[in-house]
Structure 1
Amino acid sequence: MKTIFEKLKLYFESNSEQQIIKDWSETEKYNSVGPKIDEFFHQSKIFYETEIRNSYWEFSCKNEILENPKFASDFFLY
């Protein structure tokens, strides 16, 4: 099985410049669907870094729950 890089390299080596331009122009219809690639990378990086730090499931309001008797959250079970 080839990597994405190897497949992309093979694509550029085996297609003419006109074919590449034609293929690229056919992707214009997808520009309005979903996030742009730079936004996707940014969000993926934030999510990945958050998981690495193990803070994805931590709640910053834990202290508020303990210190504020008016704040009650029956949803979070500790």
Structure 2
Amino acid sequence: MTLFSANELRLAYGHQTLLDGVTVAISAGEKVGLVGRNGCGKTSLLKILANENQADSGETSARRGLRIGYLPQEFEL
């Protein structure tokens, strides 16, 4: 059962494209990790998945009642 999916996500800041056609589906029981160099869009993708940011284009879909969150890189105690 798919809990969350994203299709053809695109995101750019000015002339720098961070996400270009990202497609992903996360099913129940799966664990996901993001690995990449600094500035490649990992945090931007997580913010889109957590509904804290919007992609320039593409679609996201989440199962009703699903809560998505993440721990930011920098936070205050």
Q: Give the TM interval when normalised to the shorter protein.
A: under 0.3
Higher strand share: 2
Higher helix share: 1
Higher relative contact order (CA 8 A, sep 6+): 2
> Which of the two has higher C-alpha Rg?
1
| TM-score, normalisation: structure 1 | 0.20
| TM-score, normalisation: structure 2 | 0.20
